[in-house]
């Protein structure tokens, strides 16, 4: 028996007393569909509504016929956007997020023309917005142009998990390129690589009229900001995949000269010295203007290369775990509102997954938690930069970010549950937590995602 581990459990159990909170409430009960929060920013700015999708088990987001919202007080349900005659192969609408300042939601929408032979795919989707007071009226966000010569400001594939910046001026997301997928099919070299792109509405973009079923005339100007390659050089900072991304700070982070820098943090896959893949934490600084080509090639890409980052984009590696005893970083990375710390999940010296923080400029990571078993993820920061929420031991935990002993800083919000929970989100007014649980459907061998909430005192 591992007595040290047992002692850790006993000490933590004695110290993590639940806060005086109301009982968790099951907000949705309809067992005919899923109610998926997808680890996004699901609360409306006033904290009264939660937006979610209705993805299917077979089709995933492509099978989701609607983006809906539910009032956390009355239980009123509204369809914000519905897809007519949707199938498991698409088009689909899902992975929705609220703008933090206005009642506008952004979500994934598959291309209008989908079939069983040409279904919803990573490289066949775009971002669509809809306003609460004008449901079912799509506002096309990112433009898509697969007609050569390609258009600067337009992308050529599919965007995913769109996230508003906290000032509402940018949208960031992961991206897969359809032209590079086609290049992969013709060469046998893996070029369908996930990367990071961003959009804002400071410039105009024009899309070719060709391929009317595939090209999309979006309203915002977009650019890929992270470079990926199929086979990173061993021991280098080259990466083959970029994901689990989020914005840094409310408006960026403060540079040594006192200026604010808009930036996005993400997990990038490097190769260690032996050529084995390892996930590390990266940051990419993003310039104010997305329409100026950078040193690596055209913004719009070519038939055999990705769209390249604009001038002023700087990609930096923050962690170097590849050659340590417990390599790798994970989780959807999150930043404190002041932009001073980026949280991520990595193994401690005992191999237990904990929450760590690191400054955007780099330096040594700071261990923020000290649990006896793995933290499960879903980290969220408080507005005062002093607390983090996350899931551990099938419960929601609140931990103070300070130098005090861990047992004095950590409190459980919910009791341990047999049913796993996921997709934790904190309302803007910090009065409500929401999350998903998979609940068995009575009389059937299946489960559905239902939304639960906890109201904080």
Q: What was the pLDDT predicted at 419?
A: 82
Tens of pLDDT, residues 245-268: 999 999 999 999 999 999 999 999
3-state secondary structure of 6: helix
Helix H or strand E segment including 343: strand 342-347
Domains and CATH numbers, the chain: 3-455 (2.120.10.30)
- Pick the closest to residue 172 from 180, 181, 162 (CA basis): 162
Task: Encode 416-455 in three state secondary structure.
Answer: CCCCCEEEEEECCCCCEEEEEEEEECCCCCCEEEEEEEEE
Nearest alpha-carbon partner for 357 in 380, 370, 375, 340: 340
Note the pLDDT of residue 210: 80
Find the mean pLDDT for residues 69-90: 96
Tokens of 8: 């850790």
178 phi and psi, to 5 degrees?
A: -70, -35
Residue 33 in contact with residue 49, Cβ under 8 Å? no
Q: How far is CA 274 from CA 38, 120, 234, 236, in A?
A: 35, 37, 6, 11
Alpha-carbon gap, residue 25 to 387, rounded angstroms:
23
> At 209, is the pLDDT very low, low, confident or very high (cuts 50, 70, 90)?
confident
Q: Give the separation between CA 83 and CA 108, rounded to whole angstroms.
A: 12
CA distance 408 to 413: 15
Pairing of strands 260-261, 66-71: unpaired
3-state secondary structure of 299: coil
Query: By three-state DSSP, how is residue 15 classified?
Result: helix
Name beta bridge partners: 242. Answer: 268
Q: Is the pTM of this model over 0.85?
A: yes
| Structure-token pair, residue 62 | 């492509």
Please, are residues 256 and 274 in contact by the beta-carbon 8 Å criterion? no
Scan for tokens 């559905």, then name that residue. 448
Per-residue pLDDT tens for 4-48? 444 444 444 444 554 544 589 999 999 999 999 998 999 999 999
Across the range 430-440, mean pLDDT stands at 95
**pLDDT tens per residue, range 415-424:** 888 888 999 9
Confidence of residue 208 (pLDDT cuts 50, 70, 90): confident
Q: Which residue has the tokens 């990595």?
A: 346
């Amino acid at each position: 028996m591992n007595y040290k581990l047992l002692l850790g459990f006993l000490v933590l159990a004695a110290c993590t007393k639940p806060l005086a909170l109301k009982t968790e409430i099951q907000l949705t009960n309809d067992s005919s569909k899923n109610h998926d929060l997808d680890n996004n920013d699901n609360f409306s700015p006033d904290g009264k509504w939660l937006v979610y999708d209705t993805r299917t088990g077979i089709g995933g987001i492509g099978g989701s016929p609607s983006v809906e919202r539910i009032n956390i007080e009355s239980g009123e349900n509204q369809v914000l956007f519905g897809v007519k005659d949707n199938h498991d192969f698409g088009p689909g609408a899902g992975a929705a997020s609220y703008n933090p300042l206005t009642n506008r939601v952004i979500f994934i929408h598959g291309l209008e023309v989908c079939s069983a032979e040409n279904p919803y795919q990573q490289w066949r989707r775009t971002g669509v917005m809809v306003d609460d007071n004008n449901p079912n009226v799509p506002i096309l966000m990112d433009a898509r142009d697969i007609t050569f010569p390609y258009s600067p400001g337009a992308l050529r594939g599919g965007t995913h998990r769109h996230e508003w910046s906290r000032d509402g001026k940018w949208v960031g997301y992961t991206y897969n390129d359809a032209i590079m997928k086609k290049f992969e099919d013709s060469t046998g070299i893996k070029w369908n690589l996930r990367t990071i792109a961003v959009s804002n509405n400071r410039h105009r973009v024009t899309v070719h009229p060709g391929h009317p079923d595939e090209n999309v005339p979006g309203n915002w100007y977009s650019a890929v900001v992270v470079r990926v390659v199929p086979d990173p050089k061993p021991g280098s900072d080259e990466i083959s995949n970029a994901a689990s991304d989020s914005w840094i700070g409310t408006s960026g982070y403060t540079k040594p000269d006192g200026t604010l820098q808009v930036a996005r943090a993400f997990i990038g896959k490097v190769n260690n010295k032996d050529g084995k893949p390892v996930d590390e934490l990266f940051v990419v600084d993003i310039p104010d203007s997305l329409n100026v080509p950078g040193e690596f090639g055209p913004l719009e890409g070519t038939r055999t290369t990705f769209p390249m980052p604009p001038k002023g984009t700087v990609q930096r590696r923050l962690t170097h775990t590849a050659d340590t005893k417990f390599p790798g970083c994970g989780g959807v990375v999150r930043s404190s509102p002041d932009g001073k710390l980026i949280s991520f999940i990595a193994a401690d010296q005992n191999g237990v997954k904990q929450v760590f923080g690191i400054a955007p400029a780099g330096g040594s990571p700071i261990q923020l938690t000290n649990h006896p078993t793995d933290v499960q993820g879903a980290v969220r920061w408080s507005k005062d930069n002093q607390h983090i929420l996350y899931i551990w031991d099938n419960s929601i935990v609140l931990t103070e970010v300070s130098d005090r002993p861990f047992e004095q800083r950590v409190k459980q919000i919910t009791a341990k549950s047999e049913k796993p929970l996921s997709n934790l989100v904190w309302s803007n007014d910090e009065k409500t937590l929401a999350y998903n649980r998979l609940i068995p459907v009575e009389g059937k061998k299946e489960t559905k995602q239902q939304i639960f909430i906890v109201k904080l005192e």
